């Protein structure tokens, strides 16, 4: 039997997160750039690589960095006729872009050559394009198939402090953005940051990037870039688009004309229709739809949503009798007496049960529906 080793958190040295591109690509972690074929995700990855090789600041991150080496591993595009010409157009220092030779043996996520190459070239960015080409025969839809590979790759990223970027395709199924990537849910779960690339809905040669997952910092603003044979690649700055709109081909949601408050109510009604939902999932779904936590909490309070604790985890559920205060945005802004009376009645009932909306028991400071105390 192996010797038992116990660590104590007081002995762990606190470290700050290092970034290749704040807050989009953390160093020493796995990130994903995903999108449908032909949407420009590889070109965007090459643009990031080019900037790293020349020390050029990336959008939203003005911090200066020295030119660094990059490893770009691709199984889809030719190096001579596609990758190098694109890098040259992007102004990359090709002396700093390296490739692991797979002529005698194909690379996989757990291949020891990845760490050897990163250390030898002192690379700060390692890109794999696409994910499914480097699974070494493992089933990407199987948790047992991908988890060991991603754990191995994540350990390499951590040991080398290299930003590892995996380029992946999207599936055709609908639903939440975390489930749109090909393969097991463990793939996006292993990534600390996910950038989703797609059509902007404005111009055929314009693409948008949404920071659809961010574990280490607040998500960065959505971005846009030009993507055409004549103008080449150009960063266009911040762009107002949600992940749902991006996954819908850049088309604005039909309910865009509705206020955030109305959309928050609709989200709560739909999500809780079949029973309690973890509160953290509610905030995540709201974020993906461009609904602020403060607005979600206001809608939650107005509807009398009950926070309940199930096995040490907080959930939201609709009132037991299925009734909640009905009022429109206009009525709310005008201080409609009927609405206020109904809301007061709901608050009184819940207070009697020691369950106050927006409070989740432990967060007494959260009565005003502010973003503090989010659970």
Whether 181 and 60 map to the same domain: the answer is yes
Q: Which structural domain range is residue 352 located in?
A: 254-366
Domain boundary among 212, 247, 282: 247
pLDDT score at 252: 62
pLDDT at 375 over 60: no
Provide the pLDDT confidence category of residue 170 given band limits of 50, 70 and 90. confident
Q: Do 75 and 194 fall within a single domain?
A: yes
Q: How far apart are CA 293 and CA 307, in angstroms?
A: 15
Whether 152 maps to a domain, the answer reads: yes
Q: Is the pLDDT of residue 164 over 90?
A: yes
Residue 153 falls within a domain, yes or no? yes
Residues 287 and 243 in one domain: no
Q: 153-162, pLDDT tens digit by residue?
A: 999 999 999 9
Chosen domain end from 247, 269, 287: 247
With H, G, I as helix, E, B as strand and everything else as coil, classify residue 59. coil
SS3 content of the chain, % helix, strand, coil (to 5): 35, 20, 45
Angle, CA 223 vertex, CA 220 and CA 229 arms, to 5°: 150
Neighbours of 101 (CB within 10 A): 9
Residue-wise pLDDT for 100-153, tens only, equals 999 999 999 999 999 999 999 999 999 999 999 999 888 887 878 889 999 999
Give the residue ranges of DSSP H helices in 55-184.
84-89, 112-121, 143-160
Does position 173 have pLDDT exceeding 90, yes or no? no
pLDDT of residue 177: 53
Residue 341, pLDDT > 50, answer no
172 falls within a domain: yes
Q: At 75, which CATH number?
A: 3.40.50.300
Residue 6 is assigned to a structural domain of this protein: no
Residue 301: is its pLDDT beyond 70? yes
E strand map for the chain = 19-21, 25-26, 30-35, 69-74, 97-98, 123-129, 163-169, 193-199, 206-214, 223-228, 232-238, 277-278, 306-310, 313-317
pLDDT band at 232; cut points 50, 70, 90: confident
Most confident of 177-181, 266-270, 338-342: 266-270
Q: Is residue 9 part of a domain?
A: no
DSSP 4: P
Residues 281 and 227 in one domain: no
Q: What is the largest CA-CA distance in the chain?
A: 77
- Asked if 80 and 185 sit in the same domain, the reply is yes
> Which CATH number covers residue 340?
1.10.10
The answer on 155 and 26 residing in a single domain is yes
Is 270 in a helix, a strand, or coil?
helix
Integer CA distances (angstroms), 330 to 232, 262, 264, in order: 47, 11, 15
Residues 237 and 126 in one domain: yes
| 42 and 162 fall within a common domain | yes
- Look at residue 47 and tell me whether its pLDDT is greater than 90: yes
Please state, for a pLDDT cut of 90, what percent of the chain lies above it.
Answer: 51
Choice between 26 and 140, residue whose per-residue pLDDT is larger:
26
What's the rounded Cα separation, in Å, for the pair 177 and 191? 14
Is the pLDDT assigned to residue 295 strictly greater than 90? no
- Domain co-membership, 316 together with 193: no
Place 63 in a pLDDT band, splitting at 50, 70 and 90. Answer: confident
Same domain, residue pair 299 and 322 = yes
The yes-or-no verdict on residue 91 having pLDDT over 90 is yes
Higher pLDDT, 227 or 30: 30
Does residue 41 lie in a domain region? yes
Q: What mean pLDDT, rounded, does the chain reach?
A: 82
Measured at the CA of 136, the angle between CA 131 and CA 137, to 5 degrees, comes to: 100
The answer to the question of residue 3 being in a domain is: no
Burial group, residue 191, by CB count within 10 angstroms (0-12, 13-18, 19+): buried
Evaluate whether residue 217 is within a structural domain. Answer: yes
* CA 40/CA 118 separation, integer angstroms: 26
Q: Is 89 exposed, middle or buried (0-12, 13-18, 19+ CB in 10 A)?
A: middle
Q: Based on the domain organization, do 228 and 293 belong to the same domain? A: no
DSSP 33-47: EEE-TTSSHHHHHHH
CA dihedral sign, ordered 32, 34, 38, 40:
negative
Q: Which of 247, 270, 301 is the last residue of a domain?
A: 247
What is the rounded average pLDDT of the residues 246-260? 66
What pLDDT is attached to residue 186? 84
Q: Round to whole Å and give the CA distance between 85 and 233.
A: 13
**Residues 88-105: what's their mean pLDDT?**
96
Q: Is the pLDDT of residue 322 over 50?
A: no
Residues 218 and 284 in one domain: no
Per the structure, the count of domains in the chain is 2
């Amino acid at each position: 039997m192996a010797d038992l080793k116990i660590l104590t958190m007081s002995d762990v040295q606190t470290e700050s997160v290092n970034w290749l591109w704040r807050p989009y690509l953390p160093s020493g972690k796995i990130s994903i750039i995903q999108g449908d074929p032909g949407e420009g995700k590889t070109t965007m990855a090459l643009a990031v690589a080019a900037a790293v090789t020349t020390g050029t600041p990336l959008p939203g991150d003005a911090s200066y960095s020295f030119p660094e080496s990059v490893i770009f591993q691709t199984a889809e595009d030719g190096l001579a006729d596609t990758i190098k010409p694109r890098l040259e157009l992007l102004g990359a220092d090709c002396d700093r872009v390296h490739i692991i030779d797979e002529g005698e043996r194909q690379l996989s996520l757990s291949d020891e050559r990845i760490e050897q190459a990163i250390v030898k070239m002192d690379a700060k960015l390692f890109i794999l394009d696409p994910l499914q080409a480097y699974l070494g025969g493992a089933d990407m839809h199987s948790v047992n198939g991908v988890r060991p590979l991603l754990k191995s790759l994540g350990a390499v990223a951590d040991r080398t402090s290299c930003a590892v970027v995996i380029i992946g395709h999207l599936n055709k199924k609908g639903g939440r953005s975390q489930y749109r990537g090909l393969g097991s849910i463990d793939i996006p779960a292993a990534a600390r940051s996910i950038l989703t690339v797609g059509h902007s809905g404005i111009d055929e040669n314009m693409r948008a990037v949404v920071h659809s997952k961010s574990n280490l910092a607040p998500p960065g603003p959505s971005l846009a870039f030009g993507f055409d044979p004549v103008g080449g690649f150009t960063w266009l700055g911040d762009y107002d688009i949600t992940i749902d709109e991006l996954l819908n081909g850049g088309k604005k949601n039909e309910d865009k004309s509705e206020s955030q408050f109305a959309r928050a109510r609709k989200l709560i009604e739909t999500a809780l229709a079949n029973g309690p939902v973890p509160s953290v999932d509610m905030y995540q779904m709201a974020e993906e739809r461009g609904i602020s936590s403060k607005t979600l909490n206001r809608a939650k309070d107005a509807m009398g949503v009950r926070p309940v604790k199930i096995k040490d985890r907080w959930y939201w559920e609709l009132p037991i009798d299925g009734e909640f205060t009905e009022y429109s945005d206009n009525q709310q802004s005008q201080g409609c007496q009927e609405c206020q009376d109904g809301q007061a009645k709901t608050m009184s009932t819940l207070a009697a049960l020691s369950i106050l909306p927006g409070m989740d028991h432990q967060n007494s400071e959260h009565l005003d529906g502010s973003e503090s105390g989010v659970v």
